[in-house]
Amino acid sequence: MTPLLQKFSDEVEGGREKAQLGVSLMRENAANRMELPETPKWLKSFKGFFALLLIFLEWIRPGLPSPLRPICDMRVLNHFIEEARDAEAAMRFCKEECSVAVPLTVPLTSVDFAVWEKKNMEEQAQEVQAGLWLLNMAIGSLSASITSSALHSHIDATIRNIASLKQVLRSLSIQDYVPTGGGTEETWRVSSASELFQVHINFLRGKVYLVLRNAPVCQQQIT
């Protein structure tokens, strides 16, 4: 082969290799675009937690002492409700371990609006605080009989959420209240973990929601 033909052949071969390389890169890029990994569930949960954390950070004014800033954002309560639903769903599939030997006392969740609206804000708040106290005691008692670590994680999260909810109430100038003696008349009893957490959900969606929504400091912010 003459030098001229050899040079021409080399150029053709080089062009073919470049073309093949280009096709390979295009295929690789297309595959990468099609195989984008789905966002992991833990990352989605983290994003939700981070959003909630930003709300909680609004509680305290930087560089200033208490009192806490009023927390009127109902997304905080909605987060607690969603976690209570997750706990109830987990407890629903738990049979013998989640039954209780002695029925647990819990607050009534039904609201008679004619009676509720006749109560002043302090009376309503005390009813909510008393209910949270009962729920905290009942969930703490349940914890002693549960051995599953997965269920314990739900119980621990619920106890933390009740403590956080009390912080929210304090931020609205609602004082802590612990019932004494027979001061918890509006109660009933449950005999399973699933029932207990269903009561917890309904209490948050009912009386707790009403107190937070109608807190005077939040009404002032709206007006």
| pLDDT (tens digit per residue) in 82-138 | 999 999 999 988 877 788 888 999 999 999 999 999 999 999 999 999 999 999 999
User: What are the residues whose beta carbons fall under 8 Å from the beta carbon of 111, sequence distance 6 or more?
Assistant: 206, 207, 210
Residue 97 DSSP symbol: G
| pLDDT (tens digit per residue) in 149-178 | 999 999 999 999 999 999 999 999 888 888
Output the pLDDT for position 11. 53
When the pLDDT of each residue in the chain is averaged and rounded to a whole number, the result is 78
Cis peptide before 103 (omega within 30 of 0): no
The β-bridge partners of 187 are 107
